[in-house]
């Protein structure tokens, strides 16, 4: 896998952003030239993309970073039809190579992909409100740095054993795949056959947050997606995420994000959307 070094000694130069939604399962990415960097974060389905003689299939919660390459290899196109949606951003590094660099892979799975999506939504909101170029440049840079931190947090931990790393990854997958259920640390510990205190300690050592906090953050990030990308009511979202009632959901969401669900929905309702 290739890694791309991006200088953040200066903010990157923001070009364009948006959210794409396929209108049917027959959609295939058009053949388009790329003359800057493009970041894609998939929110539904699988994006099948061919670029620079390579084929990529990017699933939900995964990212793809494509660099500019010389002609005639700078055309990206779909090689298989799919019903998918994804957020995208085009940018160009401005700084010179220095100690202030971040290294990003061309493709990876994001542990906190909902957090990245929230930042991309905020960037779109700033575009919609005609924010100045400096603001957009810095917001685009924050997105890239957040991805770098996400990758660094769950990959660059050499002190962890392979066994604990695998347990950690399995727990993360379990939480994400069961985000609509009522999840507790005790229930997860029983599921994986470990002591509750041990599994909490191991998870916190690797991720930097407690398992309970991770569950709450994942539910809040999923709720943020429903609040801005669907017409579900707060009550319906609470039920969908396994809460006993909407009051518990609203209290948990505000404690985690600093916003009430209604405040967040009102702040980020209009998206830059293309088909």
Tens of pLDDT, residue by residue over 127-186, are: 999 999 999 999 999 999 999 988 876 554 444 567 778 888 899 999 999 999 999 999
Alpha-carbon separation of residue 62 from 124, 248, 251 (angstroms) = 20, 30, 30
pLDDT greater than 60 at residue 16 = yes
Q: Looking at residue 34, what is its pLDDT?
A: 95
Decide the pairing of beta strands 47-51 and 54-58: antiparallel
Q: Which CATH number fits domain 162-267: 1.10.10.60, 3.40.50.970, 1.10.620.20, 3.10.20.30?
A: 1.10.10.60
Q: How confident is the model at residue 65 (pLDDT cuts 50, 70, 90)?
A: very high
pTM score over 0.85:
no
C-alpha distances in angstroms, 12 versus 4, 17, 102, 195? 14, 14, 12, 46
Exposed, middle or buried: residue 142 (CB in 10 Å: 0-12, 13-18, 19+)? Answer: middle
Provide the 10 A C-beta neighbour count for residue 134: 10
- The residues of the chain that CATH labels 1.10.10.60 are 162-267
* Of residues 144, 112, 114, the one with CA closest to residue 208: 112
Going by CATH, does the domain composed of 3-155 fall within 2.60.120.280? yes
pLDDT value, residue 159: 47
Q: Start-end ranges of CATH 2.60.120.280 in the chain?
A: 3-155
Phi, psi of 184 (to 5 degrees): -135, 160
């Amino acid at each position: 896998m290739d890694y791309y070094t991006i200088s953040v000694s200066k903010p990157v130069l923001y070009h364009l952003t948006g959210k794409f939604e396929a209108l049917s399962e027959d959609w295939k990415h058009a053949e388009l030239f790329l003359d800057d960097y493009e970041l894609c974060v998939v929110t539904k389905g699988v994006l099948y993309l061919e670029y620079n003689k390579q084929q990529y299939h990017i699933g939900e919660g995964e990212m793809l970073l494509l660099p500019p390459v010389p002609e005639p290899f700078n055309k990206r196109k779909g090689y298989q039809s799919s019903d998918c949606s994804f957020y995208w951003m085009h940018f160009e590094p401005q700084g010179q190579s220095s100690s202030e660099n971040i290294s990003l892979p061309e493709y990876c799975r994001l542990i906190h992909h909902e957090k990245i999506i929230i930042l991309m939504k905020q960037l779109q909101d700033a575009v919609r409100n005609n924010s100045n170029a400096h603001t957009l440049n810095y917001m685009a840079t924050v997105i890239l740095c957040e991805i770098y931190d996400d990758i660094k947090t769950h990959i660059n931990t050499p002190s962890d054993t392979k066994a604990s790393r695998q347990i950690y990854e399995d727990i993360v997958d379990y939480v994400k795949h069961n985000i609509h259920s009522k999840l507790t640390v005790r229930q997860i510990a029983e599921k994986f056959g470990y002591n509750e205190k041990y599994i909490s300690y191991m998870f916190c050592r690797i991720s930097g947050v407690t398992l309970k906090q991770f569950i709450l953050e994942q539910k809040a990030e999923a709720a943020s997606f429903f609040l801005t990308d669907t017409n579900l009511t707060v009550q319906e979202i609470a039920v969908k995420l396994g809460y006993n009632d909407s009051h518990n959901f609203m209290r948990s969401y505000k404690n985690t994000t600093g916003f009430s669900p209604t405040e967040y929905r009102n702040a980020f309702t209009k998206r830059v959307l293309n088909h």
